[in-house]
Structure 1
Amino acid sequence: MARIEFIGLETIPEIKPGDDLAKLIVDAANRECSGIKDNDIIVITSKVVSKAEGRIIELDEIKPSRRALELARKTGKDPREVQAILDETEEIIAVIPIKEFVEEGIWDLSKYTKDLEGSIQLINNDPCFFITLNVNNQIYTDAGL
């Protein structure tokens, strides 16, 4: 019988620009689960890769455009974050108002999380997300930021 096992590596440090991701992953796998074997599949988030590549955006250095200010007003997002999304995308396909869906009972958040209080705090800090299309016609949420 085939078996699938998911193992989240817990001892990888906070990633910094220039970090050797492969080495960090191999070392953590050796410590935590007897290493990486043939046919193992390694999943790495794009955010971690971006950090290692130094593709980090300093929000304090972003000056929001009029469009970013208007979208921020309508969505509750930080205008600088909206500008960063606009800078990384070709097109905004949709805006999903998660906080509004939860508050109006359209979406029962308790069905999808073990930490309801933490999830509510997250959506209070980030009340919606953008579905965006990049220059390669790839779809992302919040431009993959």
Structure 2
Amino acid sequence: MRTISLTAVEGIPMVKAGDDLAALIAKGLDHTGFKLAAGDILVVCQKVVSKAEGRVVNFKDFEPSEFAKTYARRWEKDPRAIEIVLRQTSRIVRNDRGVLIVETGPGWVCANAGVDESNSLEDERAILLPEDPDASARRLRDEIRRRLNVTVAVLITDTFGRPWRDGLTEICLGIAGMNPILDLRGTTDLGGRGLHHTVVAIADEIASAAGLLMEKAGAIPAVVVRGYKFEPFEGSAKILIRPAEADLFR
């Protein structure tokens, strides 16, 4: 029987800047009574990675630009929050109805540059995306391997919207140890018809599955996915970003 299981890693405390995230996850696994095995996928939410890396900012430390002030007045927002978004932005893709869709430095296209005040646990404080989520995933993978003597793939996830669908879903921001893409081009369907365009964002599908256990207020920042036979790969989650020339929404 083909089975894929999801296991929440419980007992991980609130993460602070400078915390050893791998050590906290290892303790959480021990608390949960779950032992990692080779071939498992460790899915970790972006917020705890960002917190451990000190990617948390306070509104009071930002002087808003004239653009931020004007935008904030028009849409009744805090100009300091807008300034924080702008500092993480390499290009504004769309600015409409009080929503800033931007391209970040690493290339992610998302609302508000991924800047989020939820679960910051303080007023007027925001959490930024990791500077390099792939590097964060590699460090976590390597440290887990050192501590627990087991090699797993690591995914770092965040909640994103999609241009043609309502509602949010989890996507993969950073990856280590597995190919984020399942390319089925050159294979055939059940009727023998050749597949020419089917490329599956398998890392996003795994991220969304793990998200079922990562409830917003559930304090579950890590999930182990077991049973999916992934392709070992040393690359980047950035290959999931559609090139601008092929993106009908940019």
> Cα deviations across residues 56-93 of structure 1 (Å, max 9, x unaligned)?
21111111111111222233332111100000111222
Alpha-carbon contact 1:15-1:52 (below 8 Å) kept: yes
Give the residue type in structure 2 aligned to 1:21: L
1:25 aligns with 2:25: yes
- Alignment correspondent of 1:34: 34
- The SS at the match of 1:92 is strand
The one-letter code sitting in structure 1 at the alignment partner of 2:3 is: R
Listed one character per residue, the Cα deviations across residues 18-51 of structure 1 (whole Å, up to 9, x for unaligned) are: 1011111121022114132222211222222121
Coordinate RMSD, CA, aligned: 2.1
* Corresponding residue number in structure 1 for 2:91: 91
Equivalence for 1:49:
49
Cα offset, 1:96, TM superposition: 7.0
Structure 2 length normalisation: TM-score?
0.41
Count of aligned residue pairs for this structure pair: 115
* Aligned mates of 2:27, 2:96 — CA distance in 1: 39
Partner of 1:15: 15
Q: Which residue is equivalent to 1:131?
A: 101
Amino acid corresponding to residue 65 of structure 2 in structure 1:
S
TM-aligned CA distance change 1:49 to 1:73, over 3 Å? same
1:26 and 1:36 in contact (8 A); partners too: no
Report the equivalent of 2:112. 142
Structure 2 CA distance for partners of 1:68 and 1:94, relative to 1, 3 Å: same
1:36-115 correspondence to structure 2 within 5 Å: 36-95=36-95
Contact 1:85 1:143 in 2 (8 A): yes
Indicate the percent of aligned positions where both proteins have the same amino acid: 35
Kindly indicate whether the alpha-carbon contact (under 8 Å) linking 2:93 and 2:103 is maintained by their aligned counterparts in 1.
yes
Secondary structure, aligned partner of 1:83: helix
Going from structure 1 to structure 2, the CA distance change for 1:130 and 1:12 (only over 3 Å counts) comes to farther
- Give the stretch that moved more between structures: 39-48 or 10-19: 39-48
Deviates more, 1:43-52 or 1:83-92: 43-52
**Partner SS state of residue 70, structure 1:** helix
2:29, 2:19 → 1: CA distance? 16
Q: 1:30·1:36 contact (CA, 8 Å) conserved in 2? A: no
The answer (yes or no) to whether the contact 1:17–1:52 under 8 Å persists in 2 is: yes
Given residue 66 of structure 1, which amino acid in structure 2 is its aligned partner? Answer: E
The structure 1 segments of at least 4 consecutive aligned residues displaced by more than 3 Å after TM superposition are: none
| AA matched with 1:4 | I
Cα distance change of structure 1 residues 129 and 90 upon mapping to structure 2, 3 Å threshold: same
For 2:89, what is the secondary structure of its paired residue? coil
Q: Closer, same or farther in 2 for the Cα pair 1:5/1:142, shift >3 Å?
A: farther
| Alpha-carbon distance between aligned partners in 2 of 1:35 and 1:76, rounded to the nearest angstrom | 49
TM-score by length of 1: 0.67
| Cα distance between partner residues in 2 of 1:42 and 1:5 | 12
Q: Do the aligned residues in 2 keep the contact of 1:92 with 1:131 (CA within 8 Å)?
A: yes
